[in-house]
Amino acid sequence: MLGVIGLATLLLSFGFYSILALPLSATAWGLGRSARRSSHGGESWRSSAQAGEVLGIVGTALSFIFLAGCAAVIVL
């Protein structure tokens, strides 16, 4: 859920709230990874955990890209 919220925050704000989306996405990445490693609920639980991990990775990468773009604009 955090991965979806992080990506939605990032994309709907056109990157202006990337400072908020970064911790949400990083947390989703970490929680998805730990849930996938300790999945005792079967295949559906494992696929949900993997989806959370992937969304966290994508959100973290996009947040870093947007933050680097903002930093480049400020420096220039």
Read off the tokens for 2. 């955090």
Q: Where do the domains of the chain lie?
A: 2-75
Give the ranges where 2-76 is alpha helix by DSSP (H): 2-12, 18-37, 43-75
Instruction: Measure the CA–CA gap between 66 and 18, rounded to whole angstroms.
Output: 7
pTM as predicted: 0.77
Short-list 66, 63, 69, CA closest to 29: 63
Instruction: Measure the CA–CA gap between 5 and 41, rounded to whole angstroms.
Output: 24
pLDDT tens over the chain, length 76 residues: 777 777 787 777 776 777 888 888 888 889 888 888 886 767 777 788 888 889 889 988 988 888 888 888 888 8
